[in-house]
Amino acid sequence: MDLLQLQQRLQGPALAPVNQWQPAFCGELPLHIAADGRWFYQGSEIKRQPLIKLFASVLTCQQQQYYLQTPAEKIRITVEDAPFMLLTSQWLDSPQGPVLQFSTNIDDDILLSPRFPMRLNPETNLPYLYLWRGLSANIHRNLYYQLIEQATSVYCNGQQHLQLKSAGYVYTLGIY
């Protein structure tokens, strides 16, 4: 195992083993995740970070629907855009070269790598970080502008691509 793989294992979030559970669908819960990463229950914002982290640990996306899934129940919730928001980033050294580490709105640190790649949404042309269990994270506007300044412009397939290289892999941040 190389250093990058070890970092990814140590920095992964505390996730419940949702894939091992097969509960019955129990309906919908008035829980909503806004596009800016805030969580709401019955229209009121949830401000307790430990509660949000608990919900996030059992969150899954299946066939473009979001669920909180426990051993006993599976409840649908609504997500406006992506359930998580990337707020900050920093470059770390690795044997594969510099690697970009993101921090989310729920204090998870995630390395931009083949395990958690960045891809452009084909409908919006905006970049998202693809995570576990079908979930994704969008990039806060301030961070997006910081990343644009760090990106390299490359001409590819008749278009200019803004690209970042993390751990030896290239990811497209935008096309113009």
**What digits encode the pLDDT tens for the residues 118-136?**
999 888 889 999 999 999 9
Provide the domain count of the chain: 2
Q: Are residues 66 and 17 in the same domain?
A: yes
Q: What integer pLDDT is reported at residue 116 of this predicted model?
A: 95
Mean pLDDT, the chain, rounded, equals 90
For 23, 59, 112, 171, the CA distances from 101, given in Å and listed in that order, are: 34, 22, 6, 14
Q: Are residues 163 and 92 in the same domain?
A: yes
Q: Are residues 111 and 163 in the same domain?
A: yes
User: Is residue 57 scored above 80 in pLDDT?
Assistant: yes
Q: What integer pLDDT is reported at residue 156 of this predicted model?
A: 86
Rounded to an integer, the average pLDDT of 22-42 is 95
User: Is residue 37 scored above 70 in pLDDT?
Assistant: yes
Q: Are residues 66 and 134 in the same domain?
A: no
Of 54, 79, 104, the last residue of a domain is 79
Q: Are residues 107 and 133 in the same domain?
A: yes
Q: What integer pLDDT is reported at residue 157 of this predicted model?
A: 84
User: Is residue 13 scored above 70 in pLDDT?
Assistant: no
Rounded to an integer, the average pLDDT of 20-29 is 92
| Domain membership of residue 115 as a residue range | 84-175
Segment 149-175, tens digit of pLDDT: 999 999 988 899 999 999 999 999 999
Q: What integer pLDDT is reported at residue 9 of this predicted model?
A: 47
Q: What integer pLDDT is reported at residue 17 of this predicted model?
A: 84
Task: Compute the distance between CA of residue 118 and CA of residue 128 in angstroms, rounded to an integer.
Answer: 5
Q: Are residues 157 and 99 in the same domain?
A: yes
Q: Are residues 103 and 166 in the same domain?
A: yes
Of 38, 54, 79, the last residue of a domain is 79
> Looking at residue 106, which CATH number applies to its domain?
2.30.270.10
pLDDT band at 14 (very low <50, low <70, confident <90, very high): low
> Looking at residue 29, which CATH number applies to its domain?
3.10.540.10
Asked if 171 contacts 89 with a C-beta cutoff of 8 angstroms, the reply is no
Of 49, 79, 109, the last residue of a domain is 79
Q: Are residues 101 and 163 in the same domain?
A: yes
Does residue 149 come out as left (phi exceeding 0), alpha (psi in the -120 to 50 range) or beta? alpha
Size of the chain in residues: 176
pLDDT band at 12 (very low <50, low <70, confident <90, very high): low
Q: Are residues 38 and 120 in the same domain?
A: no
- Least confident among 9-18, 31-40, 46-55, 89-98: 9-18
